[in-house]
Structure 1
Amino acid sequence: MFTFPIFAVRKIIDRGKTDAAKSGGFRNPYYGFKPGQGEIPGVWLVGDQGVYIMSNGKLPHGERPLVVYSEECHPIGNPDWFHYKQHHFGGDDGIQFIDAEQLIPLFDRNLRCTHLSVQLTETEVSLSLIAR
């Protein structure tokens, strides 16, 4: 399970929309293997050096996307991040696209919740909200 503050997820989505408006759309998370899929507002859940979400708007040359690490899998804040990532994300690097149209209504219906929880299995991504 990976958790992210809802306010941070909203910032990631907003940044992606801003970048897309300035730079001509959204990046394809599937490296062109699935043209047109995932080129909409959302976030990328990335397993790499830790696990984080990032904005998906196209970027001007040299700019970087906005990134927020999960509370459980930050390489600086958690000395066990590598083992946690292997156990809950897998050993390989990867990207999962999460559509903003799935997230925003979920957030808006549950105003008392503070964090998004993302759980991965081999076949699906499960989203839930929690209050801390």
Structure 2
Amino acid sequence: MFTFPIPAVRKVVERGIADAAANGGFRNPYYGTRPGEGERPGLWLVGDKGVYIMSNGKLAEGSRALVVYSEQCHPNSDIDLWDYKRRHFGGDDGIEFIEAERVIPLFDRNMRATHLNVELTDTEIGLSLITR
């Protein structure tokens, strides 16, 4: 399971939308192997050195996407992030697209929630909210 503060998730989605408006659309998270899939408002859940979410709008030359690391799998954390990533994301690097239309209404219906939990299985991405 990976946890992200809701205000940070909202900023990632908003940044992706702003970048897309300014630079001609959304990036394809699947490197063009699935044309049109994931090229809409949302965020990318990325497993790399740690696990993070990132904005998905096309970027201006020299700019970078907004990145927010999960609380459990940040490169500067104390835990063994490689083992945690391998157990909960998989051993390989990868990207999963999560639609904005899936997360934003969830946040708007649960105004007291403070964090988004993302849980991956072999077949789906589970989303839940918690309050701290």
Q: Same fold (TM over 0.5)?
A: yes
Residue of structure 1 equivalent to 2:125: 125
Q: Does residue 1:66 correspond to 2:66, yes or no? A: yes
TM-score by length of 2: 0.98
Per-residue deviation, 1:26: 0.2
Residue of structure 2 equivalent to 1:26: 26
5+ residue gaps, structure 2, are: none
Residue of structure 2 equivalent to 1:56: 56
Give me the whole-angstrom Cα distance separating, in 2, the residues matched to 1:100 and 1:57: 12
Give me the whole-angstrom Cα distance separating, in 2, the residues matched to 1:116 and 1:102: 12
Structure 1 vs Structure 2: percent identity of aligned residues?
Answer: 70
Q: What letter corresponds to residue 94 of structure 1 in structure 2?
A: G
Give me the whole-angstrom Cα distance separating, in 2, the residues matched to 1:8 and 1:22: 21
Counterparts of 1:1-132 in structure 2 under 5 Å?
Answer: 1-132=1-132
Q: Secondary structure at the match of 1:4?
A: strand
Per-residue deviation, 1:77: 2.0
Give me the whole-angstrom Cα distance separating, in 1, the residues matched to 2:5 and 2:105: 16
Q: What letter corresponds to residue 112 of structure 1 in structure 2?
A: R
Is the CA contact (8 Å cut-off) linking 1:50 and 1:69 kept in structure 2? Answer: yes
- Would you identify which runs of 4 or more consecutive aligned residues in structure 1 move more than 4 Å? none
Per-residue deviation, 1:62: 1.3
How many pairs were matched up?
132
Per-residue deviation, 1:79: 3.8
Give me the whole-angstrom Cα distance separating, in 1, the residues matched to 2:128 and 2:91: 24
Q: What letter corresponds to residue 49 of structure 2 in structure 1?
A: Q
TM-score by length of 1: 0.98
CA-based RMSD? 0.7
5+ residue gaps, structure 1, are: none
